[in-house]
Structure 1
Amino acid sequence: MRKRILITGAAGFLGSHLCDRFIAEGYQVVGMDNLITGDIKNIEHLFPHKDFEFYNHDVSNYVHVAGKLDYILHFASPASPIDYLKIPIQTLKVGSLGTHNLLGLAKEKKARFLIASTSEVYGDPNVHPQPETYWGNVNPVGPRSVYDEAKRFQEAITMAYHTFHGIETRIVRIFNTYGPRMRLNDGRVLPAFIGQALRGEDLTIFGDGTQTRSFCYVDDLIEGIYRLLMSDYVFPVNIGNPNEITMNDFAQEIIKLTETSQKIVYHPLPQDDPKQRQPDITKAKAILNWEPKVSREEGLKITYSYFRKFSSEQLIETKENKSFN
């Protein structure tokens, strides 16, 4: 019998790419999203497909899916500072109640469960690069804690269901990812820079620009997630691109890419914003035989082309939104 998979956050950036991947692999895909940050346009191309069905539902409430499920991927969560600072309670609920509901569904269906965790579990790290063995430096009551601690709780309850109930579980720690279907107004550094360049605005860096990020193209990330789901490894695995770059250098790359002449302006660094981000992917290489293939230069060209094509819709960015690195 053909495999059937539930993907929450299906209309989001990563969720929609996962729907595409599993449809391409011949799965029956059930997408679920309450559209609080997702966009139905990301998956509308799948609606005519006989193997795709969609439910507009908030997984923080009881989740029921009729029929068998072989896999559950939990990707429902606000993921950008603008989103989770605007809706902190919903962010905590989808990480706690939502994860609990879906683990219960996995137990009922005897389905393998994969949780989308994040590099934010490492907080503002004192260890660099960040291996999975690092426990992190997180402020549990700071403004970012609603996201950071929600993800840390997700990992804890997922592992508890594995050890206590014997559920097959997987945990992916996702580092900065980019590509088509990101929102220009979601506050993350790459779409923020490109959006400012397209509008002819100066590029805003928070902090002095020496802080670093490591950007992974979405196709590479999806491949890593797929391999992890199909593996037998139950502990967290970093998936990201270890090619690290400072915000100053990255801003210059965007200026060159967009052929604009904007200046770079600096604002104070938000509280608890991490100074360094670089994944240690030793485990992913050894266990999954995975490492990123798409260079930042190649990935940025594809992403910029997407943003230019859809800029008329994406550039509805309100003035009160602030971008964060």
Structure 2
Amino acid sequence: MTRVLVTGSSGFIAGHLVERLRRDGHLVRAAGRRATPADEFVEADLRDAEQCRRAVEGTDVVFALAANMGGIGWTHHAPAQILRDNLLISTHTVEAARAAGVSTLVYASSACVYPRYLQNHPDSPALREDMVFPADPDMSYGWEKLTGELLCETYRDTYGMDVKVARLHTVYGPGAAYAGPRAKALMALCAKVAAVEGDVGTIEVWGDGSQTRSFCHVDDCVEGLVRLAASDVTTPVNIGSDERVTIAEAVRLIADAAGKDITMGFAPDRPVGPLGRSSDNTRCRELLGWAPGVPLAEGIRGTYRWVAAHMAAERSRADV
């Protein structure tokens, strides 16, 4: 891995991955709509095949992270746009990598590929990689990611490409969106707690707080991606935490990090997604000799500090 391309440079996972790869001594090109500190930046709309080809050309390893994505608010707001954009991005990236003779491509898939019928209770079993079929992914984003996985498998079988598939599970951490429809639940909840003035207050929580998730810190996500790229693995691998909590428990961890007494006002009419989702890390441990391990309470402390600091800075600028 000497010449590495990371697509989706405006995304927060990509930004952390670029930093890690450069620390490891690789020559890193970032491609996307917005620059991130890298050895080289290529501004490219990867929905366009020619721009995608130029971005990939001359690299040895590609981390395909670019996607039109966001939290539950965004996936409900723009399903057709998400499906169209991501099908184009994934198809053009994999084909460009084949044409350029890239040695390894790591495709960022999602836990959204797992069937909804396996996630309809807070105590639903942890999701194993072999549970994908019969298919019933979560919304259009999940269908596109599952199609992307099949594309990768087909290119591997047809052209002998070294393509890895990472199924990412609800990644959070400093740099992630915390406001607007693209913010995912944990980041949005951090922002709601940070917006409470003083030490006591109430925040709105979508659903009834009983839905469960496992949240993966971005440092763990990046470590998993790097390990997967260097492995000889040919099957999809979950990269996610197996520490499951309810949303209400996550709020309490955020409140503890903030030092605030927070009351939750529930909004059962708002979208909540699957009622129970967590990662089974058996395959990850077996094939990569490792699994995500940042404790949620620890990850939330650093993430909350970052969100609170950025929100304070925004208020200061607004007051000028």
Q: TM-score range by the shorter chain?
A: 0.7 to 0.9
Q: How far is the alpha carbon of 1:246 from its aligned partner?
A: 0.9
Structure-2 separation of matches of 1:151 and 1:313:
36
Q: Which residue of 2 aligns with 1:106?
A: 97
Identify the match of residue 181 of structure 1 among 168, 175, 180.
175
2:166 and 2:237 in contact (8 A); partners too: yes
CA shift digits 1:121-161 (9 cap, x unpaired): 11435261100000267657xxx622111111111111111
AA of the residue aligned to 2:221: L
Structure-1 separation of matches of 2:313 and 2:158:
47
CA shift digits 1:85-128 (9 cap, x unpaired): 44434422332111111111111121111111111111435261
> 1:27/1:264 Cα in 2 relative to 1: closer, same or farther (>3 Å)?
same
Structure-2 separation of matches of 1:314 and 1:138:
43
Structure-2 separation of matches of 1:269 and 1:163:
45
2:9 and 2:33 in contact (8 A); partners too: no
CA shift digits 1:257-308 (9 cap, x unpaired): 2122332011125567101111110001011011123211221111112112
1:203 and 1:264 in contact (8 A); partners too: yes
TM-score, normalised relative to structure 1: 0.85
1:242 is paired with a residue of what secondary structure?
coil
Q: How far is the alpha carbon of 1:180 from its aligned partner?
A: 0.7
Q: How far is the alpha carbon of 1:212 from its aligned partner?
A: 0.4
Q: Which residue of 1 aligns with 2:127?
A: 130
Identify the match of residue 190 of structure 1 among 174, 180, 186.
186
- Write out aligned runs for 1:17-166 (5 A): 17-35=16-34, 40=35, 43=36, 46=37, 52-62=39-49, 63-65=52-54, 67-77=57-67, 78-111=69-102, 112-126=104-118, 128-135=125-132, 145-166=139-160
> 1:137/1:302 Cα in 2 relative to 1: closer, same or farther (>3 Å)?
farther
2:72 and 2:272 in contact (8 A); partners too: no
Structure-1 separation of matches of 2:273 and 2:136:
10
1:124 and 1:137 in contact (8 A); partners too: no
1:138 and 1:148 in contact (8 A); partners too: no
Q: Which residue of 2 aligns with 1:262?
A: 262
Aligned length: 300
Q: Which residue of 2 aligns with 1:321?
A: none
> 1:283/1:163 Cα in 2 relative to 1: closer, same or farther (>3 Å)?
same
> 1:313/1:123 Cα in 2 relative to 1: closer, same or farther (>3 Å)?
farther
Structure-2 separation of matches of 1:158 and 1:287:
19
AA of the residue aligned to 2:144: A
> Any unmatched runs of 5+ in structure 1?
317-325
2:40 is paired with a residue of what secondary structure?
strand
AA of the residue aligned to 1:241: S
2:241 and 2:278 in contact (8 A); partners too: yes
CA shift digits 1:219-241 (9 cap, x unpaired): 11111111111111111100111
* Higher percent of residues as helix: 2
1:129 and 1:280 in contact (8 A); partners too: yes
Q: Which residue of 2 aligns with 1:319?
A: none
CA shift digits 1:15-43 (9 cap, x unpaired): 111111111111111111125xxxx5xx2
- Over the aligned positions, Cα root-mean-square deviation in angstroms equals 2.3
> 1:287/1:172 Cα in 2 relative to 1: closer, same or farther (>3 Å)?
same
AA of the residue aligned to 1:156: L
Please identify runs of 4+ aligned residues in structure 1 that moved more than 6 A: none
Structure-2 separation of matches of 1:146 and 1:315:
36
Identical residues among aligned pairs (%):
26
> 1:211/1:234 Cα in 2 relative to 1: closer, same or farther (>3 Å)?
same
Q: Which region of structure 1 is more displaced relative to structure 2, 204-213 or 85-94? A: 85-94
Q: Which residue of 2 aligns with 1:288?
A: 288
1:125 and 1:274 in contact (8 A); partners too: no
Structure-1 separation of matches of 2:3 and 2:228:
17
Q: Which residue of 2 aligns with 1:205?
A: 205
